[in-house]
Amino acid sequence: MNRIAHFGALGAVATALLVSGGNPEPVAATPPTGACTALTGMALADGKVVKAEEVAKGGMVNTKEGTPGLPAQAGFCRVYAVLAPTPRSEIKVEVWLPAPTAWNGKLLGAGNGGYGGSMLLPQLTMQGALGKGYATVGTDMGHVGTADTDAKWALNQPEKIVDFGHRANHLASGVGKAVIAAYYGNAPKASYFQGCSDGGREALMEAQRYPEDYDAIVAGAPANAWSRLMTSFMATDRAVFARPDTLIPNAKLKLLQDAALAQCDAKDGVKDGVLDDPRQCGFDPAVLQCKAGDGPSCLTAGQVTAARALYRGTFDAKGRKFFPGYMPGAEAVPGAWDLWLTGPKAQHGIFAGEFFRNMVYSDPEWQPASFDVTRDYAAARRLAPVLDSDNPDIGPFLKRGGKLILYHGWNDAAIAPENTIDYYQAVQKRVGAAARDSVRLFMVPGMSHCLAGPGPNVLDTLGTIDKWRQGGPAPETMIATKYDNDLFGYLGFPAKPVRTRPLCAYPKVARWTGKGSTDEAANFLCVAPGAKR
């Protein structure tokens, strides 16, 4: 548990609450004038608050130097802290505090993404939560990067790797609670964590390694098996880019998507450009193979081989499944296969290359051409205790009343969706009845990586888990919405909803009743797999 030094009377209250583990209801007390700026200099166990400033509603909040800001959805006190738990560490943390009359009494920890390196991604989550009355906390994961694909900061920096792996978010949780106690005079009555992609890995790391940090956790598309995921990323990259004849031009992705939809779209009872469970499709890209040579309306034999490898997933040298593959039905959607798997700057190869060069081998000259699944995974596994959060034993978290929601888009081209299903099933097997009562998985048809895609993909996971943690029934459905601008819809900015669909707690699936619009969630029921309705 993080400790804070005395900060006047408010600091004494904060210290007492944190040491005692108290969790009283928040009070409506108003901090004295200037209380926000007075937080500047507040001592923390591993650092201090370096700046605190008032931000007015509508004021532009810069998330990263050189990028445009976003208007604040409410006025708040913006607190900047820097932590140095080791001489090599420099963890930047921000805490956003709504006005006392607007605070809902709760804390939300916001996950980062990729390799972190800035506050850009956490602050997208913090923006929306602030508008709902949450005090929020986020961190840059302990380093500065040129982009979230950059891991050069990790070269010969084992302590920074630990900060990224788990320490930064854990310490940020303590900072958030300490600053809240100092500002409001009370600890939060509930603390949640929400993240997707690497943020999902971070979320599960909190549940597994630090079960007392948060009361409820949302993990989307979690990159939890990090060492295995990065090894698989490099394998998929090699499947496409190792030879000229296996390159799949982005112009041909629509051939794959159209053929898969033609074969499988109607299988779920609604022909809407979305496969509800792509595993049932059984699509083989060989149906598109050119009879001879090459052409714009067919795939060469090498391109078929590469596409098959992407659908099948990664296998080890003994032919055993190593990591799941990617699903058909949205290959040509912008930001899907073109971004992650087949484009000239495919993210799989970039992420994995950074991992092996800077974390695994500490060799900036390491080249993908030397990659071998067996050898390189054995080397990568040395970092698993620091980076991986795929341990299914979350018993301590559940024992103290913790709730966990997992979700994953079926058409995620970054992290294979079956990885999350595998983890969910492992948790059920390991923890048993506690998991059945306190863990839910929602698979999202037509959703890309964390957001967007052809299907409804904006979800109120925070509202859902808040109702659950506050004593409501375990959620069996969530409503997903497709907007004319998915990002605006996600951020809470004006956007037009064009379709809604219920998401069903796994393994149930949504089926149209046969009456009413197929664009309205009210006309669907959750049924067991294989049932029509």
Query: What is the pLDDT, as a whole number, of residue 333?
Result: 96
- List, in sequence order, every residue forming a beta bridge with 439; answer none if it has no partner: 404
CA dist 136 and 110 (Å) reads: 7
Do 352 and 234 touch, CB atoms closer than 8 A?
yes
Closest CA to 90 of 151, 18, 164: 164
> Was domain 8-225+387-449 assigned CATH 3.30.2010.10?
no
For residue 42, with 0-12 CB atoms within 10 Å meaning exposed, 13-18 middle and 19 or more buried, which class applies?
buried
The reply to whether 197 belongs to the active site is yes
Q: What is the pLDDT along the chain (533 residues), one digit of tens a residue?
A: 232 222 232 233 232 323 333 333 333 345 665 699 999 999 998 999 999 999 999 998 876 666 778 888 899 999 999 999 999 999 999 999 999 999 999 999 999 999 999 999 999 999 999 999 999 999 999 999 999 999 999 999 999 999 999 999 999 999 999 999 999 999 999 999 999 999 999 999 999 999 999 999 999 999 999 999 999 999 999 999 999 999 999 999 999 999 999 999 999 999 999 999 999 999 999 999 999 989 999 999 999 999 999 999 999 988 999 999 999 999 999 999 999 999 999 999 999 999 999 999 999 999 999 999 999 999 999 999 999 999 999 999 999 999 999 999 999 999 999 999 999 999 999 999 999 999 999 999 999 999 999 999 999 999 999 999 999 999 999 999 999 999 889 888 889 999 999 999 999 999 999 999 999 999 999 999 876 65
CA dist 479 and 54 (Å) reads: 35
Three-state DSSP class for residue 79: strand
Q: Is 142 left (phi over 0), alpha (psi -120 to 50) or beta?
A: left
Q: H or E segment at 60?
A: strand 60-61
Closest CA to 194 of 393, 392, 405, 394: 405
- In degrees, rounded to 5, the angle at the alpha carbon of residue 444 between the alpha carbons of residues 438 and 449 is 105
Query: What is the pLDDT, as a whole number, of residue 43?
Result: 95
Q: Which residue among the candidates 197, 232, 389, 438 is catalytic per the annotation? A: 197
Q: Which residue among the candidates 198, 232, 449, 466 is catalytic per the annotation? A: 449
Query: What is the pLDDT, as a whole number, of residue 69?
Result: 80
The residue ranges of every structural domain in the chain are 8-225+387-449, 228-385
CA dist 261 and 79 (Å) reads: 49
Query: What is the pLDDT, as a whole number, of residue 346?
Result: 97
Do 346 and 241 touch, CB atoms closer than 8 A?
yes
Rg (CA), the chain: 23
CA dist 142 and 128 (Å) reads: 24
* Rounded alpha-carbon distances, angstroms, from residue 39 to 35, 53, 54, 99, 426: 7, 9, 11, 15, 44
> Residue 508 is encoded by which pair of tokens?
């149930």
For residue 452, with 0-12 CB atoms within 10 Å meaning exposed, 13-18 middle and 19 or more buried, which class applies?
buried
Do 143 and 59 touch, CB atoms closer than 8 A?
no
CA 350 to chain centre: 19
CA dist 43 and 87 (Å) reads: 17
Q: Which residue among the candidates 412, 438, 466, 486 is catalytic per the annotation? A: 412
Do 245 and 300 touch, CB atoms closer than 8 A?
yes
Q: Where are the extended beta strands (E) located within 263-378?
A: 314-315, 321-323
- List, in sequence order, every residue forming a beta bridge with 234; answer none if it has no partner: none
The reply to whether 412 belongs to the active site is yes
Do 112 and 198 touch, CB atoms closer than 8 A?
yes
With tokens 């087949």, the residue in question is 342
The reply to whether 449 belongs to the active site is yes
Query: What is the pLDDT, as a whole number, of residue 33?
Result: 57
Q: At what angle do helices 8-20 and 168-184 cross, to 10 degrees?
A: 130
Q: What DSSP letter does each residue of 362-381 carry, written as one string?
A: --TT--GGG--HHHHHHHHG
